[in-house]
């Protein structure tokens, strides 16, 4: 019989039969959603601010414009980017980031791994699962996440192996609509001052000024935050190193990808428009079928 060693991440002790239960049910039938109060509030605020920006741009700036072409072109571009940003947010929030099945640290499961004599495997004592290489435990998701980068309350989820692409797209599209909103606000201020605030908006001048000032502040904050996050994520992907691994200064025990291989592993395949399409790979039929089998959506916590 082959011998192997199993180590806890916090302490060393043998794995007892029945200690971890029988494992988790199949996760393909579940809808991934983290029921964290802070995360749900932050996600709601994100949607509210994006929709607020869309309201100000559409109803305060574009619809009152005398130039139909200017209004149509900027309206289509801004609203299109907003849809892509919110879709990327949903995909990040509702995609399993790479959770390791709970309670798989059983004798039967370890026997199925066909471990080599003396080989060391790690068990997480918090969720009682065998930890793959580069997995870390998230105290909010209460799961071990493969290639966990960080837990982001604004998307109410961990950023990991399976949803990092959507998180990168979310930061990119938010940065783009923030830049667009600032440009439109600057042009609107210039136009309104030129005509002394007459006929530049359907709202009164004080209301228009307040709405646009709040939009500019929001856009500046969003642009700063998302631009920094976007750059950090691209840097991590190109270096094949997660934020947790960088902060912990972990020495790589894996073979690092080249920059190009790292980008392809996250975004999938050769460069194409699918890289920037958050709708790519969306399986609505499978989701609806899962809901039908279970009589409703299950929430993974």
What residue has token string 């949903």? Answer: 90
Distance between CA atoms of 188 and 60, rounded to whole angstroms? 9
Q: Give 20's contacts (C-beta < 8 A, 6+ positions apart).
A: 103, 104, 105, 106, 128, 129
Q: Give 108's contacts (C-beta < 8 A, 6+ positions apart).
A: none
Q: Quick check: is 152 catalytic?
A: yes
Q: Which token pair is 267?
A: 């975004």
Q: What are phi and psi of 29, to 5 degrees?
A: -95, 5
Long-range contacts of 259-268 (CB under 8 A, 24+ apart): 262/237, 262/238, 263/237, 263/238, 266/164, 266/165, 266/168, 266/237, 267/165, 268/165
Q: Which token pair is 92?
A: 């990040």
Q: Is there a contact between 111 and 159 (Cβ–Cβ < 8 Å)?
A: no
Going from the C-alpha of 245 to that of each of 89, 134, 237, 252, the distances in angstroms are 24, 8, 12, 9
Q: Is the dihedral of CA 297, 153, 267, 129 positive or negative?
A: negative
Which one is catalytic: 127, 128, 144, 152? 152
What per-residue string of b and e applies to 157-189 under the rule 16 or more CB within 10 Å gives b?
A: bbbbbbbbbbbbbbbbbbbbbbebbbebbeebb
Helix/strand/coil (H, E, C) string of 186-204?
Answer: HHHHHHHHHCCCCCCCCCC
Q: What is the DSSP letter of 264?
A: H
Q: Which token pair is 152?
A: 């982001």
Provide the annotated active-site residues.
152
């Amino acid at each position: 019989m082959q011998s192997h060693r199993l180590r806890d991440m916090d302490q060393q002790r043998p794995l007892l039969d029945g200690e971890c239960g029988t494992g988790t049910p199949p996760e393909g039938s579940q809808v991934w959603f983290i029921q964290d109060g802070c995360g749900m509030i932050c996600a709601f605020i994100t949607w509210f601010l994006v929709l607020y920006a869309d309201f100000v741009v559409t109803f305060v700036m574009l619809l009152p414009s005398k130039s139909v072409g200017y209004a149509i072109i900027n309206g289509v571009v801004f609203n299109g980017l907003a849809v892509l940003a919110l879709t990327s947010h949903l995909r990040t929030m509702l995609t399993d980031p790479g959770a390791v099945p709970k309670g798989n640290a059983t004798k039967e499961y370890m026997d199925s791994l066909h471990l080599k004599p003396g080989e060391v495997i790690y068990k997480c004592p918090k969720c009682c699962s065998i930890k793959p290489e580069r997995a870390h435990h998230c105290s909010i998701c209460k799961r071990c996440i493969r290639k966990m980068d960080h837990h982001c309350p604004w998307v109410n989820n961990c950023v990991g192996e399976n949803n990092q692409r959507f998180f990168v797209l979310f930061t990119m599209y938010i940065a783009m609509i923030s830049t667009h909103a600032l440009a439109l606000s600057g042009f609107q201020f210039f136009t309104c001052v030129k005509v002394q605030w007459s006929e530049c908006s359907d709202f009164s001048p004080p209301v228009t000024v307040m709405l646009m000032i709040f939009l500019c502040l929001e856009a500046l904050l969003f642009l700063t935050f998302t631009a920094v996050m976007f750059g950090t994520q691209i840097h991590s992907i190109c270096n094949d190193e997660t934020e947790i691994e960088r902060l912990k200064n972990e020495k790589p025990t894996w073979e690092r990808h080249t920059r190009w291989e790292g980008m392809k592993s996250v975004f999938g395949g050769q460069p194409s428009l699918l890289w920037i399409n958050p709708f790519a790979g969306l399986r609505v039929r499978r989701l609806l079928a899962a809901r039908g089998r279970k009589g409703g959506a299950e929430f993974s916590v």
